[in-house]
Amino acid sequence: MFLLYNLLLTLTAPLWGTWMILRARRRREPVDWSERVGAFPFSLPRGKPRLWLHAVSVGEVMAALPILRAVREQDPGLEIVLSVTTSSGHQTARERAEGLYDRLVYFPIDVPRFTLNAMVRVKPTVVAVMETELWFNFLWAAKAVGATTMIVNGRISDRSFPRAQRVAFFYRRLLAMVDRC
C-alpha cells in the first residue's frame, strides 16, 4: 500500500503541486515552503515528552483550543508542536492559541522525505491529528520515529462514509497506523 500510494502521489504531483502553488498565491500570508517540505527551523532534542498536534485550518484550531488548554494544565512541562495547513489556520493559532503551544509550523506535504524530515526534527512522543486529517506518509513517519498516534475529535459524515467504503482496503492500512481514537 505504501508503494502504491506514493506511486500515485508521484504521478499526480504535477496536478496537486500546481494546485498548491496557485492556492498559495491567493492567500494574504505567504506559505513557508521550507516548512512544507519538513525543513523546520529547529531540531528538538530527544528524550523530552513532546506532543505534535495537527489542526488543519481555523475550525480545527478552534476545536483544539480546549484540548490544548487541558493538556497544558495537566502537564505544563510537555512540549507542544502545533501544525496547520492553511495560512488562516496559522493566523488563528497565533492570535487565539498563544501560550498553548511551544512551536507553530506548517504541516509538511505528504511526501515520505518531507514527513520523515519533519518527524526527525520534532521527535514527538505523541502525534495527534484533529478530525480525520489522515495522511498516509505522515502517519508512517510518526510510527517510524516511535510516536504513539491518535485521532482527536474524529468523525466521518454520512456523505463521506459511502466513498470511504469504496476504498476500505486503503482505510484499513491507514487506520492500522493509528494507535488511539
Residues taking part in catalysis: 60
Amino acid 38 reads G
C-alpha cell at 94: 497565533
Do 60 and 89 contact (CB within 8 A), yes or no? yes
Residue with cell 459524515: 157
The phi, psi pair for 50, rounded to 5°, reads -145, 135
Q: Cell numbers at residue 64, please? A: 483544539
Nearest to 129 by CA among 102, 112, 147, 111: 147
149 is written with which cell numbers? 498516534
d(C-alpha 154, C-alpha 138), whole Å = 17
